[in-house]
Structure 1
Amino acid sequence: MLSKDTLFAVSLFPYLGFLWFLTRSGQMPRLALIGFYGTLVFVAVTIPAGIYAKVVYGEALANIDWLHGGAEVFLTLANILVVLGFRQAVIEKQSSQQ
């Protein structure tokens, strides 16, 4: 059975493929696409934060609230961009049909 760390690392490859296809399709709302890429920023921040939590506090990232919350801000921002991007696309589609 794969460890959670190995599964996390391996899961990046399908996500990168997903981003590649989204980008090449040209059909994704730009703001939503930026949000999906923002998820990579979350990953890039979470990995060193997890290492810091382990080295400095001897704990998992999830157990250090201020550090975990700081990392989660990046995921929240990415999700907001995805939602706003799709919202904008729906509004534009609705206005073009009237």
Structure 2
Amino acid sequence: MTPETLFGLSLFPYLGFLWFLTRSHQMPRLALIGFYMTLVFVGVTIPAGIYAKVAYGEALANVDWLHGSAESFLTLANVLVVLGFRQAIVQATAQRNAPRNAKLEEKG
């Protein structure tokens, strides 16, 4: 099996992953956007790789400016996932501490 075929086939499980995450309504919204942003990264990387091959006769990884530009989309996706989970942790911690804080205010 060629790497291109394997790459194409790997999109189906990822799309299933996104479908289940979206339907579960349990994923922090910002993190979910980050996971969807990974598809944007894939969508940008494919034409960038084709352009690198046609214009430069090189693989995308060997054309620094083009490779870095495409990878910036993956970086953005990862940042969104991390910020989404961080926000969820902060909110969960605040909710867990809310009853304790209310009791302290009553005593004070």
Alignment TM class, shorter chain as reference: over 0.9
Runs of 4+ in structure 1 over 4 Å off: none
SS in 2 for 1:34: helix
Cα distance in 2 between the residues matched to 1:69 and 1:4: 21
- Which residue does the alignment assign to 2:53? 54
1:86 CA displacement:
0.2
The offset of 1:67, in angstroms, is 0.2
Offset at residue 3 of structure 1 (A)? 1.2
Partner of 1:21: 20
Tell me, which stretches of 5 or more residues in structure 2 are unaligned?
98-108
Distance 1:55 1:87 in 2: 41
Structure 1 position 35 matched with structure 2 position 13: no
TM-score, length-normalised on structure 2?
0.89
Q: Alpha-carbon deviations, 1:23-69, whole Å to 9, x = none?
A: 00000000000000000000000000000000000110001000000
5+ residue gaps, structure 1: none
Secondary structure of the residue that 1:28 maps to in structure 2?
Answer: coil
Q: What is the CA–CA distance in structure 1 between the aligned matches of 2:74 and 2:54, rounded to whole Å?
A: 23
The answer to whether 1:90 aligns with 2:66 is: no
Structure ranking higher on relative contact order (CA contacts 8 Å, 6+ apart): 1
Cα distance in 2 for residues equivalent to 1:9 and 1:65 = 24
Q: Report the CA distance between 1:4 and its aligned residue.
A: 1.1
Computing the radius of gyration from Cα coordinates, the structure with the larger value is 2
Q: Secondary structure at the match of 2:26?
A: coil
RMSD: 0.4
